[in-house]
Amino acid sequence: MELTDEVLCRRVAERDEAAFDLLVERYRERAWRLAWSVLRNAEDARDVSQDAFVRLWEAAGSFGGRARFSTWFYRILVNLCLDHRRRNRWWRLWARDADDARGDDGLLERQAAPAHDPTDALSRAHTMSALWAAVDRLAPRQRAAVILQVQEELSTAEIAAVLACSEATVRVHLHRALKTLRQTLERR
C-alpha cells in the first residue's frame, strides 16, 4: 500500500527523512515545472523549488490536513515564486531562454493540437511563442492562477487555497487574465 502525501507530511513533521525523500521524489518535477511557469527562468525555478522543499521540511508540522497536501505545498511554492519576482523585478527584461526547451512541455504546449505538416508545426510554434509572451505580461497573481488551472489542473477552490484568497477573487484573476490574453493575441 502506497502512503498518501498527507501521511508522508505528518512523518516529515516527525523528522522522517525517508518520508521527506519520497515527497521530494513525487513533487520534484511538478515543483520545478510550476516554478518555471511562473518565473520563466530555469535557474530561478530550480532555486525556488529547492527553497520550497526546505520550507516543507521546516513547516511540515503546520500542515493541518484541512486541504490536500499538494494544495498546501503549491501555496508555499507559489508564494516563494511571487516573493522572488517582487525582489527581482528585472525578470520582465529577460526573454524566455532559447535553450530552455523543458518549459515548452508545460502550461501551454499541451493545449495545441498536434501538427501533421511542417506549415502547421511552424504556425503552432509561432502561436505558442506569442501565447507565452502574452502570459509573461500578465500580473503575477493572474499568471499564477492561469498556470495553476491549466498546467496543474487545480480547481477554483484549490487555487484559492494556494493563493490565499477567495474563490471569487480567483475567478476575477482568471477572467482578467483570459481577457488580457485574448486582447493581446487579437492584436498580433
Domains identified in the chain and CATH numbers: 5-187 (1.10.1740.10)
**What stretches of 16-159 adopt beta strand conformation (E)?**
none
Instruction: Classify 125 as helix, strand or coil.
Output: helix
Please report the pLDDT score of residue 153 as a whole number: 86
Task: Look at residues 149, 152, 138 and name the one whose alpha carbon lies nearest to residue 171.
Answer: 149
Cell numbers given for 31: 515543483
- What percent of the chain stands above pLDDT 90? 54
Please report the pLDDT score of residue 67 as a whole number: 86
Q: Do 144 and 27 contact (CB within 8 A), yes or no?
A: no
Q: Which amino acid is at 31?
A: A
Q: How many Å apart are CA 103 and CA 147, to the nearest integer?
A: 12
Q: How many Å apart are CA 87 and CA 105, to the nearest integer?
A: 27
Q: What is the mean pLDDT of the chain?
A: 82
Q: How many Å apart are CA 148 and CA 77, to the nearest integer?
A: 11
CA angle 51/53/54 to nearest 5° reads 65
Q: Find the distance separating the first CA and the last CA of the chain, reported in whole Å.
A: 52
Cell numbers given for 108: 501551454
- Residue length, the chain? 188
Task: State the pTM of this model.
Answer: 0.67
Please report the pLDDT score of residue 93 as a whole number: 38
CA dihedral 156, 87, 95, 110 (to 10 degrees): -20
**What are the tens digits of pLDDT across the range 16-32?**
999 999 999 999 999 99
**What are the tens digits of pLDDT across the range 27-63?**
999 999 999 988 888 999 999 999 999 999 999 999 9
Q: Which amino acid is at 12?
A: V
Q: Do 102 and 36 contact (CB within 8 A), yes or no?
A: yes
Least confident of 68-77, 92-101, 112-121: 92-101
Mean per-residue pLDDT, 93-117: 40
Query: Which residue is associated with the grid cell 508545460?
Result: 106
Q: Do 134 and 143 contact (CB within 8 A), yes or no?
A: no
- Name which residue leads in pLDDT, 128 or 134: 134
